[in-house]
Structure 1
């Protein structure tokens, strides 16, 4: 299938959200076979190209929505990605931790505890990357 404008825009948004180095790591480890390559192309077009570029919300708010959604649904690998995106969009570690704690009154402590464990790991990785 020909890759159109939404695909191109989606690839740009993905790089903006995750950073060049992280995108390259994902491309060479997760999306390095035909099955996952197809998923990556679809996500670039349908999610990053269509959803993330819509008017009405800024990227910072969209990133926080993803963090909340992942926590509520127990999508831990996605939460790690979206926490990274949220940090890159300007949310602080403290703000994200507080948002997660706030969720405990609505979705319960077990998923929030798990989300905070994921956040602890992601934030440590990002701090280490900044030092390198």
Structure 2
């Protein structure tokens, strides 16, 4: 796939959101074959370059929107990724937990429970990696 005008910007935004270590780990485990590599290139161009790179909202706010969306749609693997992005953008574990709890009245407790379990696992992983000390 030919790289478009938003590709480089998207790659940079993705690295900013996820962190260098996570981007490299995903390159070796998720995007390590031609099919997924094409997907990664597309996501860099269209999602990170064009969508995340739009003016009007900061990356911190966009990350929280993704956490809410993932929880509401039961996108648990994506929630783990977006929670990492949200932590890297400055949301605390407490703030993200509270955002998830707040959703209980709107998307239901089963979704919130699962979201909190995903968050607990991710926060533990990030602390072990030294990438997000608990407040």
Measure the CA separation in 2 of the matches of 1:75 and 1:35.
21
- In structure 2, the partner of 1:89 is 89
- In structure 1, the partner of 2:112 is 112
Please identify which structure carries the higher helix content.
Answer: 1
- In structure 1, the partner of 2:68 is 68
Deviation at 1:3, TM superposition (A): 1.3
TM-score normalised by L of structure 1: 0.97
Measure the CA separation in 1 of the matches of 2:28 and 2:11.
15
Please provide the CA RMSD for this pair.
Answer: 0.9
Deviation at 1:37, TM superposition (A): 0.5
Which stretches in structure 1 are left out of the alignment for 5+ residues?
none
Measure the CA separation in 2 of the matches of 1:114 and 1:130.
24
Describe the SS at the equivalent of 1:2.
coil
Measure the CA separation in 1 of the matches of 2:65 and 2:7.
22
TM-score normalised by L of structure 2: 0.95
Post-superposition Cα deviations, 1:87-119, rounded to whole Å, max 9, x if no partner, equal 000000000000000000001000000000000
Which stretches in structure 2 are left out of the alignment for 5+ residues?
none
Describe the SS at the equivalent of 1:48.
helix
Measure the CA separation in 2 of the matches of 1:30 and 1:14.
15
Deviation at 1:81, TM superposition (A): 0.1
